[in-house]
Structure 1
Amino acid sequence: MKRRNALRLHAVLVTTGVAGIAAAVLTGLPSPDASAATGAATGYAAQNGGTTGGAGGTTVRATTGTQIHAALCGRAAGDTPIVIEVEGTINHGNTTKVSGGSCNTAADRIELKEISNVTIVGVGAGATFDQLGIHIRDSSNIILQNLTVRNVKKSGSPLSNGGDAISMESSVRNVWADHLTLEASGGESEGYDGLFDMKDDTQFVTLSYSTLSNSGRGGLIGSSETDTGNSFITFHHNLYSNIDSRVPLLRGGVAHIYNNSYVSLNESGINSRAGAKALVENNHFKNSKDVLGTFYTSATGYWQARGNVLDNVTWSATSAENRPAGPAMTSTTTVSVPYTYTLDGADCVPSIVSRTAGANKGLKVSTGGCATTAPVTSAPVPVPSVTSAAPVPSGTSAAPATSAPAPGGTNLSLGAGADGSSKASGSSYGNVRDGNTATQWSPNGATGSVSVKWGVATTVSRVVVRPGTIGTIGAWQLINGDTGAVLRSGTGAGTITFPATAVKKLTFAVTGATGTPSVSELETYAS
């Protein structure tokens, strides 16, 4: 099947008539340098059904921006999984707009708009996006890995992406940005804006093992004091160097910021405002000013700080619009996260980050305890290890639900709403709550999620997953769609029990399968 998909996509690329597209190399084999299976999404990107990018889809090699756009436009649909391996320098000279039913591209940026299930990964000698930003809009399940993006301008010439190296906006979900090098050559007066910006309903994002340097602005979450619907963002094992401010700037929402190395924050650091809540732990701050607090506004934000190291950090006096957290770094709230993670000691964070963060570092990661290792390069589709405040019990692996009667009581799914991450041709999300086992839902690929949702909070403690007629469900997670917390995880279809939980949305995420899995009914019960 993968070979047929590759041939079909190759034909689309060749017939587009855009110069240089036919030179793209398509392959179903992983690159020796990096692949979509390298590592697994961590932090909040592993929530809400997880972030797997183009895993299981066709692999395409691209050396120009036009070829990247052509690969997106050559898919069967906007959610058809694809891995785009990039090598060389991508710039304005080799990037054009490409049209198609599965894409919405632009000439002045790499445009990931109204699409899902995409991985863009640097391979070989490396991938550099020179003066050309990456824009993610109205999209989900995106992985960006092992890439360099530099000197993107919003004024002067050439212009790209509003001056942001990477930006996300307008209903973006589940983005994992990993082992990136993001850099500018000055601040706003020199024509640059943010290195990593999120706004207008962006959620479940992780930035990990990346370097951000030589910029006036590191990045923001929320474009104004009223744009507070962006949330569930994780930053870990990143290096911020020679940045004036915004590392990040948070407006509303929840962020988890741990094991980052900050050097030369010139004006201010983590700026929590407009009701934002940040868990800031085991970071290392050196030669910096006002590394945490609420700055340049009267709209207060909050933080929980623990285990951080301050090396030559200075603090401003408190005023109406500047409330530094230091020198005592006293917490003003408490923040809990719904996943497990391993902390490195703050003392060794600079060493760990220098060995792991950035593009072309071999995709090495921390193993905790101040040690590093290279990730497995041929791992299967990962199943994130996640817990809520208390350890999550193992999921129930029951006999197929079709061979066991449903539990007593009313099936709460009947008459409820439904949505999901993707759906194969001929299937529908609503088929899982119509009471008819002859209809079914399948994702567009080997993994995906389907949800049952209600207009008001509904208490559920038991779910019956009835398999469809194709594929076999392997690993799965049952997720509280309101919070992203994993209620249970396990393998196979059957009956799942868990502590009674009031939810408006309950998501069943298939993270591993044989073939294309299918679900005929997702029944929910109060007891």
Structure 2
Amino acid sequence: MRVLRRTLVLGAAGALMVTLAPAGTAAAHGKDLGREVLGAQDGWAAAEGGTTGGATADPAHVFHVDTWEEFRAALGGDAARGDTTPRIVHVHGVLDAQRRAPDGTVDCASYEVEGFDMADYIAAYDPAVWGTETEPSGPLEDARAASAAVQDAQVRQYVGSNVTIVGVGRDAGIVGAALTVRGSDNVIIRNLHLSDTYDCFTAWDPTDGDAGAWNAAYDNLWLAESTHVWVDHNTFDDGQNPPEALPTVYGQKFEVHDGLLDITNSSDLVTASWNEFRDHDKTNLIGSSNSRVADRGRLRVTFHHNLWEDIGQRAPRVRYGDVHVYNNWYVVSDPAHYAYSWGVGVEAEIVADNNFVQLAPGVDPASFVEDWRGAVLTDAGLDESGTLVSSRSWPRPTSLVDAYNAANDPDIPTTVSWTPTYVERIDPTVAVPVLVKVKAGSGRLR
């Protein structure tokens, strides 16, 4: 068993034509990012054979795209899920997955089927009318689900196995897409700004929590039933629809986004490195259900050298997985929208090394950790070391798990049953903010 070390905290369509990469272009500009592979010790995705993505793609499966339609075709269109053909897709500029109204907002009306109107939906399922004991049902709910299926067909794109997707230059990104890696192996996604996966048909659930909740369907990037995935040098956010801009309906936030990067359904061997996660509520969920015991022995994930800035929660929130969280920079400047960062769920075992945490005055360090084990209080733990916490000026050593345990009962165990072995290096905690500021996020790779 690892013993807790003191934390230091310093205060669509397959028929579309796609442009092939001109021969020799990458070589003329130096290294070919599309052929780069994960380092041999770089996190959990390096285990059990490593992650190479589309590095072996033949010239016929190397693509340069600058529209959403070309991007989908390059991945295999509707047949992408389950495809194993090695592919490299270079993204130029910003691809927009949504239909847009003339003013640039998402054209939700274009996705609606006959019989659906959100204003009618809100009126019909008002808790004062519908009640709070059962989820919505009936013709309006059926029409909402049918409308959601129309939008899903437009914005969701699956990524097959043996694929590298890489942004070119400083401004490559995808807006409005639900990029989905499901049932795939050996995938690399790098140097992209993934933004604002807006759900026009968010669903009301009066039974969710004490007061009900609006639940959106789309993650910017969702990994499910997939292995060997490297997510590197990307920026994730809500774009033009940040949490503070969303209205309130029935007293609850009218949520139009789900996660930024969620890893669920027995996914395994994932490395998320040098990414930025900004201005979002439910950021990174690992493991989808307390009852999904099939996740035991899987959900092995590494997060290193990432930035979480002004997120609400889940950075990450873990069930079952063995998760290594090191050399990350956490910035909490808005206490009103902050809940917690490290969520310890059922049978989760998290090792947190040398993270730098910046808390606005008034944010209790004890709130940084949350216990989500429910009734299952064994076989979980958070082993924390090397954390630096800064709440005003000079950073100071702080154990965040000790702070949580001092303020709450029962304690979160401070030992875990595994030791990280796939680590290229752990940088000094004091260096983390500068390293992450200079190197993390999209547009950094050349």
TM-score by length of 1: 0.57
State the match for 2:306 in structure 1. 238
Q: How does 1:290-305 map to 2 (within 5 A)?
A: 290-295=367-372, 297-300=374-377, 301-305=380-384
Q: Verify: 1:24 aligned to 2:69, yes or no.
A: no
Does the aligned pair in 1 maintain the 2:38–2:230 contact within 8 Å? no
State the match for 2:47 in structure 1. 47
Does the aligned pair in 2 maintain the 1:151–1:165 contact within 8 Å? yes
Does the aligned pair in 2 maintain the 1:133–1:149 contact within 8 Å? no
State the match for 1:87 in structure 2. 92
Does the aligned pair in 2 maintain the 1:112–1:139 contact within 8 Å? no
Indicate how the Cα distance of structure 1 residues 26 and 297 shifts in structure 2: closer, same or farther if over 3 A, else same.
same
Distance in 2, matches of 1:227 and 1:277, equals 16
Q: Which amino acid aligns with 2:387?
A: N
Distance in 1, matches of 2:98 and 2:289, equals 34
Q: Verify: 1:109 aligned to 2:155, yes or no.
A: yes
State the match for 2:394 in structure 1. none
State the match for 1:451 in structure 2. none
Does the aligned pair in 2 maintain the 1:180–1:359 contact within 8 Å? yes
Distance in 2, matches of 1:343 and 1:16, equals 44
DSSP 3-state at the match of 1:126: strand
**Larger C-alpha radius of gyration, 1 or 2?**
1
Taking only aligned residues, the RMSD between alpha carbons, in angstroms, comes to 3.2
Alpha-carbon offset, residue 50 of structure 1: 0.9
Q: Which amino acid aligns with 2:66?
A: T
Distance in 2, matches of 1:24 and 1:359, equals 23
Q: Deviations over 1:160-183 (max 9, x none)?
A: 9923111111x2111000000001
DSSP 3-state at the match of 1:226: coil
Q: Tell me which protein shows more helix as a share of its residues.
A: 2
Alpha-carbon offset, residue 110 of structure 1: 4.5
State the match for 1:482 in structure 2. none
DSSP 3-state at the match of 2:172: strand
DSSP 3-state at the match of 2:217: helix
Distance in 1, matches of 2:157 and 2:216, equals 9
State the match for 1:186 in structure 2. 243
DSSP 3-state at the match of 1:36: helix
Distance in 2, matches of 1:30 and 1:189, equals 46
Does the aligned pair in 2 maintain the 1:69–1:110 contact within 8 Å? no
State the match for 2:424 in structure 1. 341
Counterpart pick for 1:131 among 176, 180, 186: 176
Distance in 2, matches of 1:247 and 1:181, equals 15
Alpha-carbon offset, residue 191 of structure 1: 1.5
| Identity of matched residues, % | 26
Does the aligned pair in 2 maintain the 1:155–1:192 contact within 8 Å? no
Distance in 2, matches of 1:306 and 1:110, equals 39
> Which structure 2 segments of 5+ residues have no match?
1-11, 101-151, 203-214, 245-252, 392-397
Alpha-carbon offset, residue 256 of structure 1: 0.6
Q: Verify: 1:167 aligned to 2:214, yes or no.
A: no
TM-score by length of 2: 0.66
Indicate how the Cα distance of structure 1 residues 84 and 275 shifts in structure 2: closer, same or farther if over 3 A, else same.
same
Alpha-carbon offset, residue 239 of structure 1: 0.2
Does the aligned pair in 1 maintain the 2:98–2:155 contact within 8 Å? no
Indicate how the Cα distance of structure 1 residues 92 and 36 shifts in structure 2: closer, same or farther if over 3 A, else same.
closer
State the match for 1:226 in structure 2. 291
Alpha-carbon offset, residue 108 of structure 1: 2.8
Distance in 2, matches of 1:194 and 1:52, equals 26
Indicate how the Cα distance of structure 1 residues 34 and 209 shifts in structure 2: closer, same or farther if over 3 A, else same.
farther
Q: Tell me which protein shows more strand as a share of its residues.
A: 1
Q: Verify: 1:311 aligned to 2:357, yes or no.
A: no
DSSP 3-state at the match of 1:353: helix
Alpha-carbon offset, residue 40 of structure 1: 2.5
Aligned length: 329
Distance in 1, matches of 2:274 and 2:416, equals 27
> Which structure 1 segments of 5+ residues have no match?
1-12, 96-105, 364-527
Distance in 2, matches of 1:221 and 1:16, equals 32
Q: Deviations over 1:116-147 (max 9, x none)?
A: 10000000353221122211111110100000
Alpha-carbon offset, residue 44 of structure 1: 0.7
Does the aligned pair in 2 maintain the 1:133–1:164 contact within 8 Å? yes
